Structure 1
């Protein structure tokens, strides 16, 4: 349960102001059809994070626990720094293929935008840390939906009222704490 809850919280916070959330705003403004956009976000996230979770689980078995602890700890600290850097949305991320429809456009755009994104790396690291890829993928997917569904429905109204810098600082703090705890071996003492 801890893997699910931590994954949900970390990704929900990290996703605020992320390029995929900006993409959700763009798609909502362009198409004004929230349900196919939400379905596309969900499907893209499931595909992307399942692959990331599988990679994290594989790493857990391939790399020794001491080396993995250092890699994960430093990765979480790196994600803390990365979270403080504001994202921008490239034009290529927002381009739509009209013949794909709203769902198809959202699915492809989100899947591609999420490749190499901090939430994808967080999913890999969390799956390796907790050795519970299903719980992590479910949690990171829920975190993505918590951050992006309001973006689809509320658009710019929400963005203008959320103190983005504060949210990024809190998310960075969570990543940093996870990194320090992982480096300190705290998780090993509790069986994860």
Structure 2
């Protein structure tokens, strides 16, 4: 694999992840848990997954073949989006200083690991690994792309501190529902 292929994989992964559901999770989790804990757990999770997918590219690609993945993803995202909007209107508004429950590092890791499981980014990673025959470099490029986008999302959290928790849940729900619609339409996320 040459540097151009590496940079193309990194760039495609970064661009794909900037609008991904993981970015919403990164913003919401970093508000409660801090940037360092959220980024370290998230990047570790997506990195392990990217390398696993790169090394298991043939079997992962067979599992994700066909349009069924778009339907399953659309249904799951619709459920998550509706849940977030209901949560926005059911829960009482939290005082930013009170009720801040911090998640453990393993819990944040698991959230991101499961969020990316079966994601189109992982299918792309598998495809690149198959095409290049360089799973280590593909895994590294995919991890860097996802890591940069997650770090950018967490960095933006600083600018959302003045927004209410209710508004953020509602916006997150709407974004997730849009992503669900795109998935049902067969447009990857």
Fold in common (TM above 0.5): yes
How far apart are the structure 1 equivalents of 2:78 and 2:41?
A: 21
After TM superposition, the score normalised by the length of structure 1 is 0.59
Offset at residue 122 of structure 1 (A): 1.0
Gaps of at least 5 residues in structure 1 are: 63-67, 93-97, 169-192
Which residue pairs with 1:55 in the alignment?
56
Q: How many pairs align? A: 136
Q: List aligned pairs for 1:27-176, cutoff 5 A.
A: 27-31=29-33, 33-56=34-57, 59=58, 90=80, 101=104, 103-155=105-157, 157=159
C-alpha change, 1:46 and 1:16, in structure 2 (3 Å) is same
CA contact (8 A) 1:3 1:126 kept: no
C-alpha change, 1:45 and 1:122, in structure 2 (3 Å) is same
Gaps of at least 5 residues in structure 2 are: 85-100, 161-170, 180-189
Offset at residue 128 of structure 1 (A): 0.7
Q: Secondary structure at the match of 2:118?
A: coil
CA-based RMSD: 3.7
How far apart are the structure 2 equivalents of 1:13 and 1:156?
A: 22
Q: Secondary structure at the match of 2:19?
A: coil
Deviations 1:57-83 (A, max 9, x none): xx3xx9xxxxx9xx9xxx8xx8xx99x
Which residue pairs with 1:8 in the alignment?
10
C-alpha change, 1:39 and 1:88, in structure 2 (3 Å) is farther
Offset at residue 113 of structure 1 (A): 0.5
How far apart are the structure 2 equivalents of 1:10 and 1:150?
A: 16
C-alpha change, 1:89 and 1:2, in structure 2 (3 Å) is farther
CA contact (8 A) 1:28 1:152 kept: yes
How far apart are the structure 1 equivalents of 2:135 and 2:117?
A: 18
